[in-house]
C-alpha cells in the first residue's frame, strides 16, 4: 500500500514549459519525462523533492512545493531509471531510435553538382576567434551539428550570405560555448543572429545559449529561431 505524507515535491508550470528536456537529463531518478511536448512528473514515488532539476530549466517552469504526496521510494526510482536508460540512451528523449523512409525525388536537378555557399573556415564555434574577419558586420547563423544532415536545403535557404557557427548543446562544453558566443557578439558588430536547431528537446539548448549570450553581451539585434524536424522538414 502506498503511503502518503506531507513533503517537498516538484511542481511544473505547463504554461512556462517549452519541452526542452533539460530537466529530464538532470533528474537522476527519472521522475520527469517529456510527454505531449511538456515536462511531466511520471510518478511521485520517483521524485526526491531536492529540486536538482530547477537549475536546469531555462524557462523557470519548475518549482518545489510542499504538499501531500506519495513517499519517495529510492529503490523503485533506481529500478525505473535503469529501465528508461535501457530503452533510451542516457535518458534523453532526443536519442530515442527512429527509422523512416527517405524521400526520393525524380528531379534531374539533383544530378547537377551544387556549389557550396560556405564563405569561410573554420565553422566550429570552439575554433572561431571573436576577432575573425568574417564575423565583422555579419548576419550570423548558429546551427546545431545535425541540421545540415537533416535539412536538404541548408546551403540554399540558410547559409547564403551568412557567417556560420556550428555547435552541439548536448555534447559540447555549454559554458565554454556560451562565453565564446558572448564575446563574439560583443566584439564583432554582428547585425543579426539566426539559430537553426533540431526538434529534439536537448537541441533547444542552443536557443537558450543564444538568448543568454545576447543578454550578456548587451546587444539588441534581430533574432530568429528555426526548428528542423528529424524527417528534414521546417517545423517553425
By DSSP bridging, strand 32-35 and strand 38-41 are antiparallel
CA nearest to 91, candidates 99, 106, 80, 102? 80
pLDDT in tens, 62-88: 999 999 999 988 888 787 766 665 444
Q: Cell numbers of 7, please? A: 513533503
pLDDT at 106: 56
Round to whole Å and give the CA distance between 21 and 27: 10
In the chain, what are the helix, strand and coil shares in percent, each to the nearest 5?
A: 35, 20, 40
| Residue spans of beta strands (DSSP E) within 58-151 | 62-70, 139-144
User: Hey, what domains does the chain have and what are their CATH numbers?
Assistant: 4-92 (3.30.70.20), 118-228 (3.40.50)
d(CA 91, CA 53): 14
Q: Give pLDDT, residue 91.
A: 47
How crowded is the C-beta side of 191, counted as CA atoms within 13 Å? 8
Which residue in 48, 91, 49 sits closest to 202, CA to CA?
91
pLDDT tens, per residue, the chain with 236 residues: 568 889 999 999 999 988 877 788 778 788 888 887 788 999 999 898 888 788 778 888 999 999 999 998 888 878 776 666 544 444 455 555 555 566 665 555 555 677 899 999 999 999 999 999 999 999 999 999 999 999 999 999 999 899 999 999 878 888 899 999 999 999 999 999 999 999 887 788 899 899 999 999 999 999 999 999 988 889 87
- pLDDT for res 92: 54
Amino acid at each position: 500500500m502506498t503511503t502518503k505524507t506531507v513533503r517537498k515535491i516538484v511542481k511544473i508550470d505547463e504554461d512556462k514549459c517549452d519541452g526542452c528536456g533539460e530537466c529530464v537529463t538532470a533528474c537522476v531518478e527519472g521522475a520527469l519525462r517529456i510527454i505531449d511536448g511538456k515536462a511531466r512528473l511520471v510518478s511521485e514515488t520517483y521524485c526526491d523533492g531536492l529540486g536538482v532539476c530547477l537549475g536546469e530549466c531555462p524557462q523557470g517552469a519548475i518549482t518545489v512545493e510542499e504538499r501531500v504526496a506519495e513517499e519517495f521510494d529510492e529503490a523503485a526510482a533506481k529500478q525505473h531509471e535503469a529501465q528508461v536508460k535501457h530503452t533510451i540512451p542516457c535518458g534523453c528523449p532526443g536519442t530515442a531510435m527512429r527509422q523512416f523512409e527517405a524521400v526520393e525525388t525524380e528531379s534531374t536537378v539533383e544530378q547537377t553538382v551544387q556549389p557550396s555557399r560556405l564563405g569561410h573556415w573554420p565553422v566550429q564555434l570552439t575554433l572561431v576567434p571573436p576577432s575573425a574577419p568574417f564575423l565583422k558586420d555579419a548576419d550570423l547563423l548558429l546551427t546545431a551539428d545535425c541540421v545540415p544532415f537533416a535539412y536538404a536545403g541548408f546551403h540554399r535557404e540558410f547559409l547564403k550570405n551568412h557567417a556560420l557557427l556550428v555547435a552541439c548543446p548536448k555534447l559540447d562544453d555549454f559554458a565554454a560555448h556560451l562565453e565564446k558566443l558572448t564575446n563574439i557578439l560583443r566584439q564583432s558588430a554582428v547585425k543579426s543572429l539566426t539559430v537553426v536547431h533540431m526538434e529534439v528537446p536537448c537541441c533547444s539548448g542552443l536557443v537558450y545559449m543564444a538568448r543568454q549570450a545576447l543578454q550578456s553581451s548587451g546587444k539588441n539585434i534581430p533574432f530568429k529561431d528555426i526548428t528542423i524536424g528529424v524527417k528534414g522538414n521546417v517545423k517553425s
